């Protein structure tokens, strides 16, 4: 499996927040400090997704930032993305791994400690854990909370990326829970100040890493 992936600031695209020029939006996020990009689209055609993913891949390659495709293994293979991220109700992890091979990154969403323990037995490179806080991005997301995040970090055999309602205002709580990687959507793409939004988050993440983690 791929090693040395920097999951610190994991930025996920959103079709409701990025109406056009998705490549430019992603480039601004990367310039602001995004260390990995996930392309996620739920309401677009396969042709539209391929076009957008191809555009994003060019930008990611330009800055040597990994590109992960949410759910769609076919799109990931078509654009030669760096990996795939799947949820609990998507294609089985073992099947995805067989399709993409062991040179690409494979991530799995987890919502509770039971799923984290199950993920330890699966061929994944990292897990997403959340929703840590309430979020409007995914309407069906249930709040997992900071204590469960702390437990997830303690027992997971692979890197944990916290997700769900994380913003500049509460990111320190995530870091203090022991999780050094955060996935964000609206915190970066909420307005036109994409680069600045990403930069502010990245600065807080790096500052906390330099200081070391504190207990809650």
Catalytic residue list = 40, 109, 138
Query: Within 10 A of 137 (CB to CB), how many other CB atoms are there?
Result: 19
The span from the CA of 197 to the CA of 135, in Å, is 18
**42, burial (CB in 10 Å: exposed 0-12, middle 13-18, buried 19+):** exposed
Whole-angstrom Cα distance, residue 152 to residue 157?
9
Angle, vertex CA 126, rays to CA 19 and CA 204, nearest 5: 65
Tell me how far apart the alpha carbons of residues 135 and 165 are, in angstroms, rounded to a whole number.
4
d(CA 123, CA 69): 17
């Amino acid at each position: 499996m791929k090693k040395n992936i920097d999951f610190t600031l994991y930025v996920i695209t959103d079709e409701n927040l990025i109406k056009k020029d998705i490549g430019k939006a992603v480039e601004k996020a990367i310039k602001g400090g995004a260390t990995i990009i996930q392309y996620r689209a739920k309401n677009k055609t396969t042709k539209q997704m391929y076009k957008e993913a191809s555009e994003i891949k060019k930008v990611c390659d330009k800055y040597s930032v990994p590109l992960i495709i949410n759910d769609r293994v076919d799109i990931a293979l078509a654009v030669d993305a760096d990996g795939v991220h799947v949820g609990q109700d998507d294609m089985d992890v073992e099947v995805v791994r067989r399709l993409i091979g062991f040179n690409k990154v494979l991530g799995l969403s987890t919502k509770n400690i039971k799923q984290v323990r199950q993920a330890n037995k699966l061929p994944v490179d990292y897990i997403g854990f959340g929703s840590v806080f309430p979020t409007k991005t995914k309407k069906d997301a249930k709040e997992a909370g900071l204590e469960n995040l702390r437990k997830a970090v303690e027992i997971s055999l692979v890197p944990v990326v916290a997700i769900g309602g994380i913003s500049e205002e509460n990111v320190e709580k995530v870091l203090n829970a022991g999780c050094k990687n955060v996935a964000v959507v609206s915190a970066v793409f909420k307005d036109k100040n994409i680069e600045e939004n990403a930069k502010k988050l990245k600065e807080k993440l790096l500052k906390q890493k330099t200081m070391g983690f504190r207990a809650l």
